[in-house]
């Protein structure tokens, strides 16, 4: 069996969203962590299709607005 990486990381959710996640975790008798991990696995492909900040703003940022890519 492979060992899993169990690094700790703090994540901040709006209270209403956290309550929904907790309700679902209770319903499924699972941990909050498990619910969030499954949500990420299911949504990762769609999230990867979102443009990055660099895609929206252009790759070069300068002080001169004439030199910025639009």
pLDDT of 30 over the 80 cut: yes
What residue has token string 């700790």?
A: 8
- DSSP assigned state of 45: H
Q: Is the pLDDT of residue 48 over 70?
A: yes
What's the pTM? 0.66
CA distances from 34 to 7, 19, 42, 51 (A): 14, 15, 12, 27
Q: Is the pLDDT of residue 68 over 60?
A: no
Q: Are 21 and 32 in contact (CB under 8 A)?
A: yes
- Please state the separation of Cα 33 from the chain's center in Å: 13
Please give the Cα distance from 22 to 29 (Å, whole number). 10
């Amino acid at each position: 069996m492979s060992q899993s990486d169990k690094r700790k990381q703090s994540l901040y959710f709006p209270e209403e969203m956290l309550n929904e996640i907790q309700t679902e975790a209770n319903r499924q008798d699972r941990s909050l962590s498990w619910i969030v991990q499954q949500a990420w696995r299911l949504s990762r492909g769609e999230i990867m299709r979102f443009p990055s900040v660099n895609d929206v703003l252009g790759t070069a940022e300068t002080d001169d607005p004439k030199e910025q890519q639009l």
